[in-house]
Structure 1
């Protein structure tokens, strides 16, 4: 059953990508190499958050919303039987993709207006080491609406998912300011397309 659901998701993913107006970030010197992120420039709609570097994200600020390419991660880690090596794989993919995101942000037409990056995740461990600030989602209904897709992802990616495990992993906002992203991850060769 899992294989059928993954196959269907793989078929439907390009439609999701198109309808949500996401973009890929490509490696500057390897045009066939994509970042694990799919991104979209948005006007932030939530409550005000102050990040650890004192950057404040307000309602209507421009941010780049990052989405992990979940079906790709599920396919890439399908043969890994233990959740710890899977988590390490995801961590490394995110770590490899952040310099590409920094390059993208640095060369974006609206660089000056963009305040930072944000996402929503249930993989909270390791986010701080990557430079993200984590915040609870203050809107209960929105939080539970986000739980539904995360439960599906967890069911498809875990070897032996349990209901209690699904409920323990609460989604959280992650943010990183533009300055922190650029100072931590910018490289000289970043010219993504």
Structure 2
């Protein structure tokens, strides 16, 4: 059943990509697709002093779920799958820094945002985790991410659906940690 759903999702993914105005960072090695967005949530103060306010420009990251689930299809252990996801995200972080460096609005971009159920380990990569405040938005995100949970969990249970969280990293912290020119020196 999962393989049928994944095949169906593979068919729908190009339409999703088209309508969400996403851009690939790297079609081969990157696991993120991104787009520029204006933040609409409550103010968030990051640990480095960056204040994210309503209408600030952020790069919104989207895991390329179909690609990720296809690559994880034969991996039986959830711990192993978690490690693979962690490594793929880690490899993709310099691509986000590069994307911002080359963006025409790079001076206005304050950071990166994602919303996910897969937040464990995100702090090790440099993200800060916050729970969305608006109850309807939290419900909407939980419902919209439930199919991903059901497809990816070893033994999914409706009663165990995890909450969704915002992941933030400031542009400065991203650049300090993942800028390729610094990494290559």
The two structures have a TM-score, normalised by structure 2, of: 0.95
SS in 2 for 1:188: helix
**Partner Cα separation in structure 1 for residue 179 and residue 143 of structure 2:** 34
**Partner Cα separation in structure 2 for residue 132 and residue 74 of structure 1:** 23
SS in 1 for 2:114: strand
The answer as to whether partners of 1:51 and 1:133 remain within 8 angstroms in 2 is yes
1:93 aligns with 2:88: yes
SS in 2 for 1:105: helix
Task: Quote the residue 1:158 is aligned against.
Answer: 153
- Choose from 79, 93, 108 the match for 2:74: 79
The two structures have a TM-score, normalised by structure 1, of: 0.91
**Partner Cα separation in structure 2 for residue 179 and residue 189 of structure 1:** 13
Task: Quote the residue 1:179 is aligned against.
Answer: 172
**Partner Cα separation in structure 2 for residue 107 and residue 22 of structure 1:** 16
**Partner Cα separation in structure 2 for residue 181 and residue 95 of structure 1:** 12
- State how 1:36-185 maps to structure 2 within 5 Å: 36-166=31-161, 169-185=162-178
**Partner Cα separation in structure 1 for residue 99 and residue 88 of structure 2:** 17
The answer as to whether partners of 1:24 and 1:34 remain within 8 angstroms in 2 is no
The count of corresponding residues between Structure 1 and Structure 2 is 183
* CA apart distance, 1:106: 1.0
Deviates more, 1:142-151 or 1:174-183: 142-151
**Partner Cα separation in structure 1 for residue 182 and residue 152 of structure 2:** 34
**Partner Cα separation in structure 2 for residue 77 and residue 124 of structure 1:** 18
**Partner Cα separation in structure 1 for residue 29 and residue 62 of structure 2:** 13
**Structure 1: 5+ residue stretches without partners:** 27-31
The answer as to whether partners of 1:25 and 1:101 remain within 8 angstroms in 2 is yes
TM-superposition CA deviations, 1:93-152 (whole Å, max 9, x none): 000000011111111111111000001011121011100010011011110110112211
Q: Which has the higher contact order (CA 8 A, sep 6+)?
A: 1
Runs of at least 4 residues off by over 6 Å = none
The answer as to whether partners of 1:62 and 1:113 remain within 8 angstroms in 2 is yes
